[in-house]
Structure formats: structure tokens, C-alpha cells
């Protein structure tokens, strides 16, 4: 036996044969691990940059007769995630729809499907998916944010505000959600709640944008004095905000002060300032000068419908 392993045409020592056997067994073990775990194999291929290979492995596992419903669900969720990373959202959605047919009781699938519908702008489909989940007593941040976002985009601000409010109980520091909540409360006339949301989101806003938003909020809340106080220092730093200062004085009925601000050099808000300047001039009896401004604005197609009220009808 010793002679058999050490001489003759095989020419291999015992240690070399066992080393080869060990390597073969190790390779088989690796293959078997991957064979029984397509998720591991796909993850390995994805890490190596072979995304298409990962897709093939998962696709094969998805149609294989082997594997439990739970295992196939995990495989298809992983496949959908790869498509999403590739920005192939349509394929990701199609895979999730197949997965949902396979396992209707898995609420995670419906949640992910709703999120992808929302991501692609398919609002009605996303709404159906989230509403179905809501009917099963699902109460998660993802559900609240999803339905809130849908109704926000559809301009159903009252419904959207309710869901955003629930979401913000869970994630009170989400600046994007806070700003959208502010916008909706402002539109609904809930100015105090809007200010609170705006203040909470202030760190995510440029200084000038925050100042304008807060000043306009105060004016809508019929409090121009607070708007003037907010803008007083900002107009020195940002001269273009003189337009909003003029608006606040106009709201107070201080036309001379408003006219002073509307007359300032202001390329950014020139047309807006001119319109309100003309309004003041018209109200003070200087209708000829006001009409000239209205005419110029109308010719530039700026506030043309409003300007036409102050101009003679065209023949």
C-alpha cells in the first residue's frame, strides 16, 4: 500500500493526496453552502460587483421547486432590493407583486410595495396598498409617512396632516416632514401650529428662507407687527426682503411707509413691488401713474389678470 501511494505512475505522496482531498471537500462544502443558500451566494456575487450573477442566482432560486414559502419570500425580497439598487423600480415592483401573490399574509411585502409605488409616483396604487395595510391595524411610521406623503402630493392637506402628525410623534426631528407639515398647516389656516413646525424645521432652512416664511406666516395670521420685527434686521443683510417689509406696512395701512419699501431697488421682487406700488398709487388718486405701471406689467404678462381690472378694456 505504501508503495502504491509513493511510487509508480501515480507518483503522489500520502500527504499530497490528503491535501487534495481536503481541498476538494472544502470546495464542495462551499458549493453546498451556496447551493442551499442562494441568499449567501447572491450576496457574495453582489459584493464582488457581479450584480447580474446575483440576479440569476435569485431568479433561479425563486422558480426552483425546492424551498419553503418563507425561503422563497426572502429570496424574492432580496431580488427586488437588487433591482431597486439598480434604479430598475419597475422590475422591483413586479417582483414584489409576484411575492405578494406567493405570501399574502406578509405585511412587509405590502409595505415595501406601497413605498415603491410612491417612489415612482403611482399615488393611487400606493394609496390602495397602504389603506389595505391600515385596515389590518398596521400602525407604523412607514405607513403614516406613506399615506401622509400621498395625500400631501394630492393636496388633501387635512388628511395628510393627520398622518404626518402621527409620524412626527415617532420621529419628531424629521426636518422634511416638519417642513411639509408647516406648509399644510399654513394652507389650512392653522398659523400657530404652522409656526411651531417651521421653528422645529428651521435648522434645515437657509436663514433668508426661514425669515420670509415666518414673516409671511405672521402676516397671514393678521399680525404685521411681528412680521416687521422679524424682517427689521434681515433687510439690512438681504435688501431684497424690503418687498416683504413693504407688504407688512401695506397690511398695517401705512401706505407711505409701504411705498418707501416698494420703491427700493429690488431686482428679485421688482415686478411684485411695482404691482403693490401701483395699488397704493391708485388708491391715493394717482391713477394715471398707477395705470402706466399696470400696463407695463400686463405687457410683460405679470399679474395680467389683476392688472386688467385697472386698465380700460382693449378694443
Report the alpha-carbon distance of residue 242 to residue 238 in Å, rounded. 8
pLDDT, mean of each 10-residue run, the chain (315 residues):
45 44 41 60 76 76 71 79 82 84 79 92 95 92 97 97 97 95 96 95 91 96 96 92 96 96 93 95 93 93 90 76
**Final residue before a domain boundary, out of 94, 117, 138:** 138
Helix/strand number for the chain, H first, E second: 20, 0
Task: Return the number of other C-beta atoms located less than 10 Å from residue 35's C-beta.
Answer: 13
Both 133 and 79 in a single domain? yes
pLDDT of 36 reads: 55
Q: Does residue 89 belong to any structural domain of this protein?
A: yes
- Per-residue pLDDT at 103: 74
Rounded to 5 degrees, φ, ψ at 70 are -65, -45
Residue 28 lies inside a defined structural domain of this protein: no
Task: State pTM to two decimals.
Answer: 0.74
Residue 314 to residue 206: CA distance in whole angstroms:
44
- pLDDT for 176: 94
Classify residue 87: in a domain, yes or no: yes
Pull the grid cell for residue 260: 418707501
Q: Would you tell me how many other CB atoms lie within 10 Å of the CB of residue 96?
A: 26
pLDDT the model gives residue 178: 96
The confidence score (pLDDT) of residue 22 equals: 40
Q: Tell which of 203, 218, 245 closes a domain.
A: 203
> Are 128 and 75 found together in one domain?
yes
Q: Which three cell numbers stand for residue 257?
A: 411707509
Domain count, the chain: 2
What's the pLDDT score for residue 9?
Answer: 44
Predicted confidence at residue 132, as pLDDT, reads: 92
> Domain check: are 134 and 166 in the same one?
no
Q: Of 138, 162, 183, which marks where a domain is finished?
A: 138
Report if residue 210 sits inside a domain.
no
- The whole-number pLDDT of residue 315 equals 58
Domain limits for position 73? 69-138
Amino acid at each position: 500500500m505504501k508503495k502504491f501511494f509513493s511510487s509508480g505512475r501515480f507518483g503522489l505522496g500520502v500527504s499530497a493526496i490528503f491535501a487534495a482531498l481536503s481541498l476538494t471537500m472544502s470546495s464542495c462544502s462551499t458549493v453546498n453552502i451556496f447551493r442551499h443558500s442562494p441568499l449567501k451566494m447572491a450576496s457574495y456575487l453582489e459584493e464582488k460587483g457581479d450584480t447580474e450573477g446575483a440576479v440569476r442566482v435569485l431568479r433561479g432560486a425563486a422558480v426552483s421547486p425546492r424551498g419553503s414559502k418563507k425561503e422563497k419570500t426572502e429570496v424574492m425580497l432580496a431580488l427586488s432590493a437588487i433591482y431597486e439598487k439598480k434604479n430598475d423600480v419597475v422590475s422591483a415592483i413586479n417582483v414584489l407583486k409576484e411575492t405578494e401573490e406567493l405570501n399574502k399574509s406578509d405585511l412587509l411585502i405590502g409595505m415595501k410595495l406601497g413605498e415603491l409605488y410612491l417612489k415612482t409616483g403611482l399615488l393611487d396604487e400606493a394609496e390602495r396598498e397602504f389603506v389595505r395595510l391600515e385596515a389590518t391595524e398596521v400602525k407604523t411610521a412607514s405607513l403614516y409617512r406613506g399615506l401622509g406623503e400621498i395625500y400631501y402630493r394630492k393636496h388633501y392637506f387635512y388628511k395628510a396632516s393627520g398622518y404626518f402628525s402621527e409620524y412626527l410623534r415617532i420621529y419628531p426631528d424629521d426636518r422634511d416632514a416638519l417642513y411639509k407639515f408647516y406648509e399644510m398647516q399654513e394652507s389650512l389656516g392653522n398659523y400657530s401650529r404652522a409656526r411651531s413646525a417651521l421653528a422645529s424645521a428651521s435648522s434645515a432652512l437657509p436663514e433668508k428662507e426661514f425669515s420670509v416664511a415666518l414673516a409671511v406666516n405672521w402676516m397671514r395670521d393678521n399680525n404685521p407687527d411681528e412680521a416687521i420685527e422679524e424682517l427689521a434686521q434681515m433687510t439690512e443683510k438681504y435688501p431684497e426682503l424690503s418687498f416683504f417689509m413693504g407688504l407688512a406696512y401695506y397690511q398695517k395701512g401705512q401706505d407711505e411707509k409701504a411705498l418707501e419699501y416698494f420703491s427700493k431697488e429690488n431686482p428679485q421682487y421688482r415686478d411684485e413691488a411695482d404691482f403693490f406700488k401701483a395699488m397704493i398709487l391708485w388708491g391715493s388718486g394717482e391713477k394715471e401713474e398707477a395705470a402706466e405701471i399696470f400696463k407695463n406689467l400686463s405687457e410683460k404678462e405679470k399679474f395680467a389678470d389683476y392688472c386688467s381690472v385697472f386698465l380700460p378694456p382693449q378694443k
